[in-house]
């Protein structure tokens, strides 16, 4: 029994009385506000299609079942609930564990993922803490590679780079190292291996702020290449001047792996450029750049190598900015170029390729796309957050964020195979919409209301995706999970594949 008034008593089994309404006086007049805590609604109303993508491809089920997450207490949450909560949080744009609490009122998406509930942020922290460092690394590396492995049969380029994650607490590995934007700030360094042009992460490893050099990436790079298999190796490894070292080039040459790396502007590189400037006979390299080939053996190199010198004339007014001392105002001065003088910017690339000089300018400029992927992952997908005191969970969450990013990227390609849409615009359009779940006569209906200005674009894209999945379901009984994954990737990446259909290798298909 419970009391609802001074004298009235009702049975506990009766329907809850709605909370008393409150009044808000707005410019449109008085508005009566009521709360309905029992309605099954979600602000991520369009995730049902992404859930079908995960189900049809088998990616989520395989990730959960293969997880080393184990609980011994009978009161512990299910690992599907823990991992599903993490996935929903990353998709929703969370970048701190505390943000996961905002998902606990979602009554729509957890059941669609096969979850029983959204667990608390503490349950997620404790669950991830119980995963061993080695076991968690093996598990996440396997599934990061699993979702892109079929694409590696095509010619592709591996971009290798390191990005900095500033820290503001007392975390393991928080050390002052290379930090171009926040000098003196402790940080972690994220060593990343990307599939060029399609923005898919093959692996990421979090290290201390002082371990930012390419020598700290060598172990992860060759471990990744061993896992890929020699027959699927990239046509080229591409990196900035952090990677233009003897150790990297020598190992690539021993393994027969082509490389294109930028060189630091050392004294010997500058002298080679001076000689080339006086000799003339430069070749056009695109976008105003000119190139010239040289054979150099720099200090520390075991032999001479092919170096492509690049230069581009600076035109128009040139300004120099300077900030003298911390907190000082930015000073801007203009450079006066006398008549007959020319200003040039320059660079140098070292390569084992035999291509003509004209191809190298654009080939290296394409490497800049990995900086766009870093910006998206750090500022829109959670690489800048989910920080804990121990390094093991930071590594685990960095890979989980990368996996969710890969899954959403592949799903987004089903809607638009010709372009990569960044989360800052794609997520509000394709994910955010109010959905209410109703059930009647054994039928579940989601009623979606989107407040996005381009909601018609999202609806058109989802109708196209739904049509593809309907066709896939019609033959799903004859297809194994690995076959469905290959068909989904063929549709999503048909621009990269040039319309070719992926087929699982006979040995893999038989094993599946």
Written as tens digits, the pLDDT of the chain (512 aa) is: 444 444 444 444 444 434 578 999 999 999 988 888 888 899 999 999 999 999 999 999 999 999 999 888 888 999 999 999 999 999 999 999 999 999 998 989 999 999 999 999 999 999 999 999 999 999 999 999 999 999 998 999 999 999 999 999 889 999 998 888 888 899 999 999 999 989 999 999 999 999 999 999 999 999 999 999 999 999 999 999 889 999 999 999 999 999 999 999 888 888 888 888 888 788 888 888 889 888 998 988 999 999 999 988 887 677 777 665 555 666 777 777 666 677 888 889 999 999 888 888 889 988 988 889 999 999 999 999 999 999 999 999 999 999 999 999 999 999 988 888 888 999 999 999 999 999 888 898 999 999 899 999 999 999 999 999 999 888 756 788 888 999 999 999 999 998 889 888 765 555 55
Asked if 245 and 239 count as a contact pair (C-beta separation under 8 A), the reply is no
First vs last C-alpha separation in the chain: 57
User: Is 172 inside a domain boundary?
Assistant: yes
Is the domain of 310 the same as that of 190?
yes
Q: What's the pLDDT at 2?
A: 46
Q: What's the pLDDT at 490?
A: 93
Characterise 440 by phi-psi region: left (phi > 0), alpha (psi -120 to 50), beta (else).
Answer: beta
Is the domain of 152 the same as that of 213?
yes
Is the domain of 239 the same as that of 157?
yes
User: Is 183 inside a domain boundary?
Assistant: yes
Q: Which domain holds residue 24?
A: 2-33
CB atoms within 10 A of CB 320: 9
User: Is 255 inside a domain boundary?
Assistant: yes
Angstrom CA distances, 403 to 191, 209, 330, stand at 15, 23, 41
User: Is 44 inside a domain boundary?
Assistant: no
Query: At 207, which CATH number?
Result: 3.90.350
Is the domain of 375 the same as that of 487?
no
Is the domain of 314 the same as that of 438?
no
Local structure of 421: helix, strand or coil = coil
Q: How many domains does the chain have?
A: 3
Residue 105, Cα to own-chain centre: how many angstroms? 27
Is the domain of 276 the same as that of 171?
yes
User: Is 267 inside a domain boundary?
Assistant: yes
Which residues lie across from 290 on neighbouring strands? 284, 311
Place of tokens 């820290």: 167
How many CA atoms, within 13 angstroms, populate the side-chain half-sphere of residue 197? 19
Angstrom CA distances, 100 to 49, 81, 82, 97, 487, stand at 22, 13, 11, 6, 33
Look up the pTM and report it. 0.89
Is the domain of 182 the same as that of 314?
yes
């Amino acid at each position: 029994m419970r009391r609802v008034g001074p004298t009235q008593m009702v049975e506990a089994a009766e329907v809850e009385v709605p909370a008393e309404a409150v009044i808000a006086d707005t410019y449109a007049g008085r508005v009566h506000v009521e709360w309905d805590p029992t309605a099954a609604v979600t602000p991520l109303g369009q995730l049902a299609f992404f859930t079908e993508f995960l189900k049809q491809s088998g990616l989520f089920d395989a990730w959960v079942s293969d997880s080393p997450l184990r609980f011994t207490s009978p009161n512990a949450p299910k690992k599907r609930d823990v991992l599903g909560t993490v996935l929903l949080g990353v998709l929703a744009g969370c970048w701190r564990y505390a943000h996961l609490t905002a998902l606990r009122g979602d009554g729509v998406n957890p059941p669609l993922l096969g979850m029983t509930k959204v667990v608390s942020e503490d349950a997620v922290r404790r669950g991830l803490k119980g995963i061993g460092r080695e076991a968690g690394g093996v598990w996440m590396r396997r599934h990061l590679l699993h979702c892109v492995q079929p694409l590696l049969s095509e010619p592709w380029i591996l971009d290798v780079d390191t990005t900095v994650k500033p820290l503001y607490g007392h975390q393991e590995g928080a050390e002052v190292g290379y930090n171009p934007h926040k000098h003196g700030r402790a940080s972690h360094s994220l060593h990343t291996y990307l599939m060029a042009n399609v923005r898919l992460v093959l692996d990421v490893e979090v290290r201390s702020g002082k371990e930012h050099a390419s020598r700290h990436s060598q172990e992860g790079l060759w471990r990744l290449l061993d896992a890929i298999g020699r027959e699927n190796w990239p046509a080229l490894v591409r990196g900035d001047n952090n990677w233009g070292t003897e150790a990297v080039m020598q190992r690539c040459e021993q393994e027969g792996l082509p490389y294109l790396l930028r060189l630091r502007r050392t004294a010997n590189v500058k002298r080679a450029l001076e000689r080339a400037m006086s000799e003339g006979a430069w070749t056009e390299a695109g976008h105003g750049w000119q190139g010239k080939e040289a054979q150099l053996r720099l200090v520390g190199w075991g032999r001479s190598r092919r170096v492509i010198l690049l230069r581009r004339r600076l035109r128009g007014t040139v300004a120099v900015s300077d900030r003298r001392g911390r907190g000082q105002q930015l000073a801007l001065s203009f450079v006066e170029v006398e008549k007959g003088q020319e200003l040039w910017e320059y660079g140098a690339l070292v390569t084992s390729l035999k291509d003509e000089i004209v191809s190298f300018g654009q080939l290296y400029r394409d490497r800049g796309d990995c900086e766009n992927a870093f910006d998206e992952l750090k500022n829109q997908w959670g690489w800048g957050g989910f920080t804990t005191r121990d390094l093991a969970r930071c590594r685990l969450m960095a890979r989980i964020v990368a996996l969710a990013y890969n899954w959403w990227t592949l799903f987004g390609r089903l809607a638009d195979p010709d372009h990569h849409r960044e989360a800052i615009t794609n997520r509000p359009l394709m994910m955010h919409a109010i959905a209410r779940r109703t059930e009647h006569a054994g039928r579940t209906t989601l009623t979606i209301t989107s407040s996005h200005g381009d909601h018609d674009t999202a609806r058109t894209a989802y109708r196209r995706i739904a049509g593809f999945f309907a066709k896939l379901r019609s033959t799903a009984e004859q297809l194994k999970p690995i076959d469905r994954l290959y068909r989904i990737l063929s549709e999503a990446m048909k621009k990269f594949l040039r319309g070719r259909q992926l087929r699982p290798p006979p040995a893999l298909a038989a094993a599946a």
